[in-house]
Amino acid sequence: MFGYITADSRTMQREDKARYQSVYCGLCRRLNRQYGNPGRAALTYDMTFVAILLSSLYHTEEAESFKRCGLHPLRKGAYISSAVIEYAADMNIILAYYKYLDDWNDDRNARARRKSKSLEQGRSMAKDRWPRQYTAISECMEQLGQMEKDNELNPDKPANCFGVLMGEVFVMQEDSFSAALRRMGAALGRFIYLLDASNDLKADIRKERYNPLIAQTDTNFKPMLDMLMSECTGEFENLPLERDLPILRNVLYSGVWTRYLKR
Protein backbone atom coordinates (compact mmCIF):
# COMPACT_ATOMS: atom_id res chain seq x y z
CA MET A 1 0.00 0.00 0.00
CA PHE A 2 2.97 2.27 0.31
CA GLY A 3 5.47 3.27 -2.32
CA TYR A 4 2.89 3.99 -4.98
CA ILE A 5 2.98 7.78 -4.82
CA THR A 6 6.12 8.26 -6.77
CA ALA A 7 7.34 10.25 -9.75
CA ASP A 8 8.18 8.93 -13.19
CA SER A 9 11.73 10.17 -13.45
CA ARG A 10 11.99 9.28 -17.13
CA THR A 11 9.84 12.20 -18.14
CA MET A 12 11.14 14.77 -15.67
CA GLN A 13 13.23 17.83 -16.39
CA ARG A 14 16.62 17.96 -14.72
CA GLU A 15 15.74 20.84 -12.38
CA ASP A 16 12.58 19.03 -11.32
CA LYS A 17 14.50 15.84 -10.63
CA ALA A 18 16.97 17.78 -8.53
CA ARG A 19 14.16 19.47 -6.65
CA TYR A 20 12.34 16.18 -6.08
CA GLN A 21 15.53 14.57 -4.86
CA SER A 22 16.33 17.47 -2.53
CA VAL A 23 12.96 17.07 -0.81
CA TYR A 24 13.46 13.31 -0.58
CA CYS A 25 16.90 13.85 0.91
CA GLY A 26 15.46 16.44 3.26
CA LEU A 27 12.98 13.86 4.49
CA CYS A 28 15.72 11.32 4.89
CA ARG A 29 17.88 13.67 6.90
CA ARG A 30 15.00 14.65 9.14
CA LEU A 31 14.03 11.02 9.71
CA ASN A 32 17.59 10.13 10.54
CA ARG A 33 18.00 13.09 12.91
CA GLN A 34 14.73 12.50 14.73
CA TYR A 35 14.40 8.76 14.65
CA GLY A 36 17.83 7.42 13.95
CA ASN A 37 18.58 4.64 11.54
CA PRO A 38 15.22 2.87 11.83
CA GLY A 39 13.60 6.17 10.88
CA ARG A 40 15.79 6.59 7.86
CA ALA A 41 15.10 3.04 6.80
CA ALA A 42 11.39 3.80 6.83
CA LEU A 43 11.70 6.52 4.20
CA THR A 44 9.40 6.30 1.19
CA TYR A 45 8.66 8.51 -1.77
CA ASP A 46 4.99 8.77 -0.82
CA MET A 47 5.55 11.45 1.77
CA THR A 48 7.91 13.26 -0.60
CA PHE A 49 4.87 13.99 -2.75
CA VAL A 50 2.89 15.21 0.25
CA ALA A 51 5.80 17.43 1.30
CA ILE A 52 6.06 19.01 -2.13
CA LEU A 53 2.29 19.47 -2.37
CA LEU A 54 1.93 21.13 1.01
CA SER A 55 5.07 23.24 0.60
CA SER A 56 3.65 24.51 -2.64
CA LEU A 57 0.24 25.21 -1.18
CA TYR A 58 1.52 27.03 1.87
CA HIS A 59 4.52 28.73 0.24
CA THR A 60 6.52 27.17 3.02
CA GLU A 61 9.82 28.74 3.94
CA GLU A 62 12.61 26.33 3.19
CA ALA A 63 16.28 26.11 3.99
CA GLU A 64 18.50 24.44 1.45
CA SER A 65 21.69 22.86 2.65
CA PHE A 66 24.41 20.84 1.05
CA LYS A 67 25.88 17.83 2.67
CA ARG A 68 27.61 14.68 1.74
CA CYS A 69 25.37 11.76 2.41
CA GLY A 70 26.61 8.69 4.25
CA LEU A 71 24.84 6.39 1.87
CA HIS A 72 25.86 8.21 -1.26
CA PRO A 73 29.38 9.48 -0.51
CA LEU A 74 30.13 10.38 -4.09
CA ARG A 75 27.28 12.85 -4.31
CA LYS A 76 27.06 16.17 -2.58
CA GLY A 77 23.45 17.00 -2.98
CA ALA A 78 21.03 19.57 -1.70
CA TYR A 79 18.50 18.78 0.93
CA ILE A 80 15.57 20.79 2.16
CA SER A 81 14.57 21.59 5.71
CA SER A 82 11.20 23.05 6.59
CA ALA A 83 8.19 22.67 8.83
CA VAL A 84 6.48 20.66 6.11
CA ILE A 85 9.46 18.31 5.85
CA GLU A 86 9.18 17.73 9.58
CA TYR A 87 5.50 16.97 9.23
CA ALA A 88 6.04 14.61 6.31
CA ALA A 89 8.76 12.79 8.24
CA ASP A 90 6.43 12.27 11.17
CA MET A 91 3.72 10.95 8.89
CA ASN A 92 6.28 8.68 7.24
CA ILE A 93 7.16 7.19 10.62
CA ILE A 94 3.58 6.47 11.60
CA LEU A 95 2.74 4.93 8.24
CA ALA A 96 5.89 2.82 8.24
CA TYR A 97 5.13 1.59 11.73
CA TYR A 98 1.68 0.41 10.69
CA LYS A 99 2.98 -1.06 7.47
CA TYR A 100 5.43 -3.25 9.36
CA LEU A 101 2.71 -4.15 11.84
CA ASP A 102 0.51 -5.12 8.94
CA ASP A 103 3.28 -7.25 7.41
CA TRP A 104 3.82 -8.92 10.75
CA ASN A 105 0.12 -9.66 11.15
CA ASP A 106 -0.14 -10.93 7.61
CA ASP A 107 2.53 -13.55 7.56
CA ARG A 108 4.29 -13.44 10.88
CA ASN A 109 7.39 -12.08 9.22
CA ALA A 110 9.98 -11.81 12.00
CA ARG A 111 11.84 -9.02 10.26
CA ALA A 112 8.65 -6.98 10.07
CA ARG A 113 8.17 -7.46 13.79
CA ARG A 114 11.67 -6.22 14.53
CA LYS A 115 11.14 -3.24 12.27
CA SER A 116 7.88 -2.27 13.90
CA LYS A 117 9.46 -2.54 17.31
CA SER A 118 12.36 -0.33 16.23
CA LEU A 119 9.88 2.38 15.34
CA GLU A 120 8.08 2.28 18.67
CA GLN A 121 9.73 5.38 20.02
CA GLY A 122 9.32 7.26 16.77
CA ARG A 123 5.69 6.33 16.56
CA SER A 124 5.08 7.56 20.07
CA MET A 125 6.81 10.88 19.39
CA ALA A 126 4.87 11.41 16.18
CA LYS A 127 1.67 10.48 17.95
CA ASP A 128 2.15 13.23 20.51
CA ARG A 129 2.81 15.79 17.81
CA TRP A 130 -0.05 14.85 15.51
CA PRO A 131 -2.81 13.14 17.50
CA ARG A 132 -5.55 13.63 14.89
CA GLN A 133 -3.56 12.04 12.08
CA TYR A 134 -2.26 9.32 14.34
CA THR A 135 -5.75 8.37 15.47
CA ALA A 136 -7.01 8.27 11.91
CA ILE A 137 -4.16 6.07 10.77
CA SER A 138 -4.33 3.64 13.66
CA GLU A 139 -8.10 3.36 13.60
CA CYS A 140 -8.27 2.91 9.86
CA MET A 141 -5.56 0.27 9.85
CA GLU A 142 -7.44 -1.56 12.58
CA GLN A 143 -10.69 -1.38 10.64
CA LEU A 144 -8.92 -2.62 7.54
CA GLY A 145 -7.59 -5.55 9.52
CA GLN A 146 -11.10 -6.35 10.68
CA MET A 147 -12.46 -6.16 7.15
CA GLU A 148 -9.81 -8.59 6.03
CA LYS A 149 -10.86 -10.96 8.78
CA ASP A 150 -14.49 -10.57 7.78
CA ASN A 151 -13.62 -11.14 4.13
CA GLU A 152 -15.29 -7.89 3.11
CA LEU A 153 -16.02 -8.26 -0.58
CA ASN A 154 -17.49 -4.83 -1.17
CA PRO A 155 -14.34 -3.04 -2.38
CA ASP A 156 -15.73 0.37 -1.48
CA LYS A 157 -15.59 -0.30 2.23
CA PRO A 158 -11.88 -0.92 2.68
CA ALA A 159 -11.02 1.55 -0.09
CA ASN A 160 -12.99 4.32 1.60
CA CYS A 161 -11.37 3.40 4.88
CA PHE A 162 -7.88 3.78 3.49
CA GLY A 163 -9.10 6.93 1.79
CA VAL A 164 -10.01 8.45 5.13
CA LEU A 165 -6.54 7.59 6.36
CA MET A 166 -4.79 9.34 3.48
CA GLY A 167 -7.20 12.25 3.65
CA GLU A 168 -6.11 12.96 7.21
CA VAL A 169 -2.43 12.68 6.31
CA PHE A 170 -2.92 15.33 3.64
CA VAL A 171 -4.25 17.78 6.22
CA MET A 172 -1.36 19.10 8.23
CA GLN A 173 -3.46 21.71 10.02
CA GLU A 174 -7.12 22.62 9.95
CA ASP A 175 -7.71 25.61 7.72
CA SER A 176 -9.59 26.70 4.64
CA PHE A 177 -7.76 24.11 2.54
CA SER A 178 -8.62 21.19 4.79
CA ALA A 179 -11.77 20.07 3.01
CA ALA A 180 -10.16 20.08 -0.41
CA LEU A 181 -7.01 18.38 0.84
CA ARG A 182 -9.05 15.71 2.58
CA ARG A 183 -10.97 14.99 -0.60
CA MET A 184 -7.79 14.90 -2.66
CA GLY A 185 -6.01 12.66 -0.17
CA ALA A 186 -9.01 10.38 0.18
CA ALA A 187 -9.30 9.96 -3.57
CA LEU A 188 -5.62 9.12 -3.82
CA GLY A 189 -5.96 6.71 -0.92
CA ARG A 190 -8.83 4.86 -2.59
CA PHE A 191 -6.81 4.66 -5.78
CA ILE A 192 -3.69 3.30 -4.09
CA TYR A 193 -5.59 0.77 -2.06
CA LEU A 194 -7.38 -0.69 -5.07
CA LEU A 195 -4.33 -0.48 -7.31
CA ASP A 196 -2.52 -2.57 -4.75
CA ALA A 197 -5.46 -4.98 -4.63
CA SER A 198 -5.53 -5.20 -8.42
CA ASN A 199 -1.82 -6.01 -8.54
CA ASP A 200 -2.19 -8.68 -5.86
CA LEU A 201 -5.40 -10.27 -7.09
CA LYS A 202 -4.03 -13.29 -8.92
CA ALA A 203 -1.53 -14.12 -6.22
CA ASP A 204 -4.12 -13.65 -3.47
CA ILE A 205 -6.54 -16.01 -5.21
CA ARG A 206 -3.85 -18.63 -5.51
CA LYS A 207 -2.75 -18.23 -1.92
CA GLU A 208 -6.32 -18.06 -0.67
CA ARG A 209 -5.68 -14.67 0.87
CA TYR A 210 -8.00 -11.72 1.30
CA ASN A 211 -8.54 -9.47 -1.68
CA PRO A 212 -11.34 -6.90 -1.89
CA LEU A 213 -11.61 -7.26 -5.67
CA ILE A 214 -12.15 -11.00 -5.76
CA ALA A 215 -15.89 -10.81 -6.30
CA GLN A 216 -15.70 -8.29 -9.12
CA THR A 217 -17.16 -9.72 -12.31
CA ASP A 218 -15.27 -7.34 -14.57
CA THR A 219 -11.56 -7.68 -13.94
CA ASN A 220 -10.56 -4.84 -16.22
CA PHE A 221 -9.84 -2.44 -13.39
CA LYS A 222 -8.17 0.30 -15.41
CA PRO A 223 -11.34 2.42 -15.95
CA MET A 224 -12.20 2.11 -12.28
CA LEU A 225 -8.70 3.22 -11.33
CA ASP A 226 -8.83 6.09 -13.80
CA MET A 227 -12.10 7.19 -12.28
CA LEU A 228 -10.59 7.20 -8.81
CA MET A 229 -7.56 9.19 -9.94
CA SER A 230 -9.79 11.65 -11.73
CA GLU A 231 -11.39 12.59 -8.44
CA CYS A 232 -7.96 13.22 -7.00
CA THR A 233 -6.74 15.34 -9.88
CA GLY A 234 -10.06 17.15 -10.06
CA GLU A 235 -9.39 18.45 -6.56
CA PHE A 236 -5.71 18.99 -7.25
CA GLU A 237 -6.25 21.19 -10.28
CA ASN A 238 -8.50 23.38 -8.17
CA LEU A 239 -5.84 24.12 -5.56
CA PRO A 240 -4.09 27.50 -5.82
CA LEU A 241 -0.65 26.06 -6.51
CA GLU A 242 2.24 27.63 -8.34
CA ARG A 243 5.41 25.96 -7.29
CA ASP A 244 6.47 22.51 -8.42
CA LEU A 245 3.44 21.87 -10.60
CA PRO A 246 5.39 19.77 -13.12
CA ILE A 247 6.57 17.43 -10.38
CA LEU A 248 3.14 17.12 -8.83
CA ARG A 249 1.49 16.50 -12.19
CA ASN A 250 4.15 13.97 -13.07
CA VAL A 251 3.22 11.99 -9.98
CA LEU A 252 -0.53 12.24 -10.40
CA TYR A 253 -0.79 11.60 -14.13
CA SER A 254 2.11 9.25 -14.61
CA GLY A 255 4.10 8.32 -11.55
CA VAL A 256 1.26 6.63 -9.66
CA TRP A 257 0.94 4.17 -12.52
CA THR A 258 4.58 3.13 -12.36
CA ARG A 259 3.79 0.04 -10.37
CA TYR A 260 0.47 -0.73 -12.01
CA LEU A 261 0.44 -4.25 -13.30
CA LYS A 262 -1.41 -4.47 -16.59
CA ARG A 263 -4.03 -7.23 -16.68
Partner 1 sequence: MMEDPYKVLGVSASASEEEITQAYRKLAKKYHPDINPGNKNAEKKMQEINAAYEHIKSNKHGGVKYEQADGTYGPQQRQQQSQGGYYGWGSPFGDNWEDIFGNNGPFGGFYGGRWEQQNAGYSQLQLAATYIMNRQYQQALQILAGIHERNAAWYYYSALANAGTGNRITALNHAREAVRLDPNNTDYQSLLNRFEQGIYEYRQYGQGHGFDMSTMGRTLVNLWLMQVVGVFCCRMCAC
**Interaction residues for partner 1, span 33-72 (CB under 8 A):** 72
What are the DSSP calls for 49-117, one per residue? HHHHHHHHHHT---EEEEEE-SS-TT-EEEEEE-HHHHHHHHHHHHHHHHHHHHHHHHH--HHHHHHHH
- Tell me: does residue 105 bind partner 1 (CB under 8 A): no
Residues 233-262 binding partner 1 (CB under 8 A) are 233-235, 237-238, 249-250, 253-254, 257-262
The answer to whether residues 62 and 80 touch, using CB atoms and an 8 Å cutoff, is: yes
Question: 144-178 burial string, b = 16+ CB within 10 Å, else e?
Answer: bbebbeeebeebeebbbbbbbbbbbbbbbeeeebe
Q: Does 214 bind partner 1 (CB under 8 A)?
A: yes
Q: Is the CB of 63 or the CB of 179 nearer to partner 1?
A: 179
Q: Which of 21, 44, 116, 118 binds partner 1 (CB under 8 A)?
A: 21
123 binds partner 1 (CB under 8 A): no
Question: Which lies closer to partner 1 via its Cβ, residue 63 or residue 261?
Answer: 261
Stretch that binds partner 1, among 29-37, 57-65, 101-109, 218-226 (CB under 8 A): 218-226
What is the C-alpha to C-alpha distance for residues 95 and 5, in angstroms, rounded to an integer? 13
Contact flags string 137-166 toward partner 1, x per CB under 8 A: --xx--x------xxxxxxxx-xxx--xx-
CA 214 to chain centre: 24
Considering the complex, state which of residue 65 and residue 219 has its C-beta at the smaller distance from partner 1: 219
By beta-carbon proximity to partner 1, the closer residue of 72 and 76 is: 72
Distances, alpha carbon 19 to alpha carbons 13, 84, 92, 100, in Å: 10, 15, 19, 29
By CB under 8 A, what part of segment 1-20 binds partner 1?
9-11, 17, 20
The nearest distance, CB 138 to partner 1, in angstroms, is 10
